[in-house]
Structure 1
Amino acid sequence: MGIDIERVRDLTPGCAETAHLNNAGASLPPQPVMDAVLGHLELEEMTGGYEAQEQAREAAENFYTAVARLVGARPEEIAYVENATRAWDMAFYSVPLAKGDRILTTTSEYSSNALAYQQVAQRTGARVQVVPDDEHGQIDVAALADELASGDVRLVSINHVPTQNGLVNPAEEVGRLCRKAGALFLLDACQSVGQLDVDVTRIGCDLLSATGRKFLRGPRGTGFLYARREVVESLEPPFVDLQAATWHAPDRYELRPDARRFETWERFVAGQIGLGVAADYAHDLGLPAIEERITGLATTLRTALAERPGVTVLDRGERRSGIVTFTVEGRDATELKLALRERQINVSVTQPRDHGYDTTAPTAAVRASVHYYNTEEELGRLLDAL
């Protein structure tokens, strides 16, 4: 059964006026998510933050169940974190790295992650190696297998969907190779959760980070971390508080045995509740239906753009996502973004500094990222405006 597009647009007030094609930046939240967030903020307004948190305990706890169900995990393998960057940081900086250990990544890696690799490599003596692309522009699985076979690989850390070129990395094949080699696998899924049918068991990752604000359509300032139960106790978070650990004595503490060792006590409670509602909303629509709708719209847009004189579509990958990137001859990408916004069409711009390992990127490119609530008419508005 497909998605009732008219119904989801009715529950997305922003669709009434704006063609929102910046879902890889932040999606328009559905009304149930907004109702949950605003409802809790109003409760805080009337009763106080601590008191509201106690009253909303069940709604907040639903976050763990909802997100676990969405990605095929167990509730105890999910941590609530304030954003995808912090979720990824908590995972990466918990991996015990030493001199001679290797970190393998991909050319499409996000520069924030690459900065963390450099910092830890300089601190510990670990080495960072970029696995080359295959002929489709995604991570070369054969080259990855060769690197894993040569030894000393402590961590494979890649993105599932890059921010800048439309491809979907073959995460399941990477997971299979990592399991065989005994290397930890950290997957940055901030652009895939909510638009693809992401299942951590099928992928075989040990750690996965994601955000609420992008394709999951949750509140901004929310995210989560998946940490596989079998690896949690081998990972010590880079910092802890009384949420992550129990104080036993002046010289002794005990970390939680589950993924919540990566949490901090203070949090955006309304956001946690809203993110749980967003996960339930996506699950109820059906991830396969969401993926089919997004992929179809993106394919339609790429095809139409490629037929336009002076337009160059930059997307790569054997499998492609809802992110469509392109340039227009003689036009600055930021100038185009602003001109489109005046026509109530939202897009974004991707810059080379955002993905420093990718030497094939142009100066800048327009990024149009579709969601299931977008329509063919909205794609037409973008094309007409160009």
Structure 2
Amino acid sequence: MSLGEQWRSARPKVAGLHLDSAACSRQSFAVLDATARHARHEAEVGGYVAAEAAAPVLDAGRAAVAALTGLPADHVVFTTGANHALDLLLSSWPGERTVACLPGEYGPNLAIMAANGFDVRALPVDGHGRLDVDTAARQLGVGPPAVVHLTALASHRGLKQPLAALADVCRDLGAALVVDAAQALGHLDCAVRPAAIYSSSRKWLAGPRGVGVLALHPDLASRLRPRLPPPEWNLSLTVIERLQHGEANVAGRVGFSVAVGEHLAAGAEQMRARLAEIGRWTREALNDVPGWRVVEPLDEPTAITTLTPTGGADPQKVRAWLIDERGVVTTCAEVQRAPFELTAPVLRASPHIDVTRDELAQFAEALADATAEAG
């Protein structure tokens, strides 16, 4: 049985055609069962007793995240999602609050940066929106910001950013690299040992919604000043304990731990290679659909394919028609997703490793029909 067939057989039968893993992937039976079992255990013995019993599973989840990021397991913090993780980090930041990021930075990230008082400056990019590493190195060398922030794979454009090369630049300059890996963890190689990296559970790792993760380099963790509990209380809590202070959906964290474990068991490198292959298949299938232009290069090693309308089609209406008439789930990426790069909405397809060429051909046919009917 192929890797894709194994992935599909491990999940409930999909109702239609799911091409939206960059938004929310499909959980496996094992993840669903682990989440439900923990919730049941809470009802049987109480939430806090159940949480103590789940500690080994959560530790295994932290260790799996550590393997994917190159950072220590005891510096992995569970959060409610990627946005929460970034807010936790930036609200705890010591000293100067300046950040350099791509012009196509994710809109909600920019909002969190602004809310935490960070002055944003742009990193240089090429004509595709990919980081120009050499120019960035010179720019950062002249006036390094407090934070160099890189979204390794954007949600509105499936371009692989040169994460490893930027990590080398930041390491040489002593700059703090923070990585948004919401689309990249489980999709691209993220084991670059940055100052911090954060992600969500629900995308390519196929965990539950409402769970995320923040992993920290010990050097950065030692300098952070979390808001809660107030530092002046002088409680005997470590920075990591303070960052994960508060109420938690432990069942979701258990499910995420199982999901990331499944990913490693399947083979992270094999998963990356398969996703790259799926991306090529998708672009080949969609390249000649009338009224649309595929944004990414054919061989871009990601499974996110973005479509720009060329004949006036409305991506939001097309998305709705595909769901209502054919059961095909995609995403309409609005301008606010990347407010300083996108000029109009785009349609995004993001199948996981179980998609077949026949299904992609069905999607191409459905997209042509949707464009004629709803565009």
TM-score (norm 2): 0.91
Hey, what does 1:235 align to over in structure 2? 224
Whole-angstrom distance in 1 between the partners of 2:70 and 2:109: 25
Q: Secondary structure at the match of 1:217?
A: coil
Greater CA drift, 126-135 or 273-282 = 126-135
Deviation at 1:317, TM superposition (A): 10
Hey, what does 1:113 align to over in structure 2? 109
Contact 1:108 1:159 in 2 (8 A): no
Contact 2:71 2:216 in 1 (8 A): no
Whole-angstrom distance in 2 between the partners of 1:26 and 1:167: 19
1:214 to 183, 203, 210: 203
Q: Would you say 1:12 and 2:8 are equivalent positions?
A: no
The one-letter code of the counterpart of 1:137 is G
Hey, what does 2:75 align to over in structure 1? 77
Paired-residue identity, % = 27
Whole-angstrom distance in 2 between the partners of 1:81 and 1:179: 26
Q: Would you say 1:146 and 2:144 are equivalent positions?
A: no
Hey, what does 1:184 align to over in structure 2? 176
The one-letter code of the counterpart of 1:105 is C
Hey, what does 1:68 align to over in structure 2? 66
Q: Secondary structure at the match of 1:253?
A: coil
Q: In the TM superposition, what are the counterparts of 1:1-386 in structure 2 within 5 Å?
A: 3-15=2-14, 17-98=15-96, 102-121=98-117, 127-199=119-191, 203-240=192-229, 251-256=233-238, 259-315=240-296, 319-328=300-309, 329-342=311-324, 343-358=326-341, 361-386=342-367
Whole-angstrom distance in 2 between the partners of 1:75 and 1:264: 17
Contact 1:166 1:317 in 2 (8 A): no
Moved over 6 A (4+): none
Deviation at 1:56, TM superposition (A): 2.8
Whole-angstrom distance in 1 between the partners of 2:165 and 2:55: 39
The one-letter code of the counterpart of 2:72 is R
The one-letter code of the counterpart of 2:19 is L
The one-letter code of the counterpart of 2:183 is Q
The one-letter code of the counterpart of 2:289 is R
Distance 1:153 1:79, change over 3 A: same
Whole-angstrom distance in 2 between the partners of 1:252 and 1:45: 35
Contact 1:80 1:260 in 2 (8 A): no
Deviation at 1:148, TM superposition (A): 1.2
Contact 2:86 2:112 in 1 (8 A): no
Deviation at 1:345, TM superposition (A): 1.0
Per-residue CA deviation, residues 189-210 of structure 1 (Å, 9 max, x unaligned), is 00011222321xxx24110000
Deviation at 1:290, TM superposition (A): 0.8
Q: Secondary structure at the match of 1:59?
A: helix
Contact 2:280 2:298 in 1 (8 A): no
Per-residue CA deviation, residues 312-348 of structure 1 (Å, 9 max, x unaligned), is 1123698442111103423211111111112111101
Q: Secondary structure at the match of 2:184?
A: coil
Per-residue CA deviation, residues 226-251 of structure 1 (Å, 9 max, x unaligned), is 1011221111123338xxx8xxxx85
Q: What is the RMSD of the two structures over their aligned residues, measured on CA atoms?
A: 2.1
Whole-angstrom distance in 2 between the partners of 1:7 and 1:152: 46
Contact 1:136 1:318 in 2 (8 A): no
Whole-angstrom distance in 2 between the partners of 1:22 and 1:141: 30
Deviation at 1:164, TM superposition (A): 0.6
Whole-angstrom distance in 2 between the partners of 1:316 and 1:5: 23
Whole-angstrom distance in 2 between the partners of 1:316 and 1:207: 29
